[in-house]
Amino acid sequence: MKPLLSALGLWRRHEERVIEVLQLALSKLGSESSLPLDENPINRRLCFCIRRANRELSQRGRGLVCPFFYEAHNQPTADDKKRAAREHKRPDFQCGFANRMEPDPDRADMFFVIECKRLGCANRTDWVFNVNYVAHGICRFVEADHGYGKGAPSGAMVGYIQSMEPAQILQEVNDNAQSRRLKPLQLSPEGWQYGGTAELSQVLCRPAVPPTPFELRHLWVDLRTQQTGSAHRARGPAARSRPRRA
């Protein structure tokens, strides 16, 4: 079921506030003197950057009253009459929104979901970053078993660029998206932000996870000079991405 048109304006305001917090948080993350290579510890660092960014923006009269939840389970939706498989899954971050214009209280809560993935050269033959950004990132917003962002018209992904040129990464990501019949990511007119955060967008058709179409916003932060260890370490056999979540 699609959100009421009267509520879409409120959701868009919530979305923009979430993106504003994320942008500032990623700027703080990118300014740290060193960062771990693996996804889990980077996400945890980002969690605290998000809290600091939200406090800073709140002091300027912006920010969000609702906190961001780190690795919390997907919340149930009224469309599922019993516990669904997606309720066992844990997106990296969620930020809730109470739709007070929804007459049915069972459908009033919506969640802006954020999933994070590493980008760049593969560090293992069985875990290729730019492939998994699609297979274990974007697809989680499309497939019913994960059902990220169900009940909401938009969500986001964060990409941690650890190696390679961003344009080359985008080509590989879009090639993999096309192989799964997904629309390509589009780079914003501002272009690549070397040492900063670039914005991209994508529209997903996802009949198994309403509503559809769904807008997925992508924030790619350039961390190539902030990683602990050299670039070759990120590609070596000792480097490990985080374990796959069920």
Range 172-187 average pLDDT:
98
Bigger pLDDT: 244 vs 91:
91
Whole-number pLDDT of residue 3? 52
Across 8-17, 115-124, 159-168, 234-243, least confident range: 234-243
Q: What percent of the chain has pLDDT over 70?
A: 89
Domain locations in the chain? 5-72+83-235
Given a cut of 80, whether residue 100 has pLDDT beyond it is yes
**E strand residue ranges, 67-187:** 68-70, 93-98, 109-119, 154-161, 186-187
Please, which residues have CB within 8 angstroms of residue 96's CB and are 6 or more apart in sequence? 66, 69, 75, 109, 110, 111, 112
Kindly report the pTM of this predicted structure: 0.89
Bigger pLDDT: 10 vs 53:
53
Range 130-152 average pLDDT:
97
Question: Reduced to 3 states, what is the DSSP secondary structure of residue 55?
Answer: helix
Whole-number pLDDT of residue 234? 38
Phi, psi of 23 (to 5 degrees): -60, -45
Range 37-51 average pLDDT:
97
Across 7-11, 16-20, 50-54, 169-173, least confident range: 7-11
Half-sphere exposure of 214 (CA within 13 A, CB side): 31
Torsion angle of the four alpha carbons 174, 233, 158, 144, in this order, in degrees rounded to the nearest 10 = 70
Q: What does the pLDDT look like over 206-229, one tens digit per residue?
A: 999 999 999 999 999 999 987 754
Confidence class of residue 111 from pLDDT cuts 50, 70 and 90? very high
Whole-number pLDDT of residue 182? 98
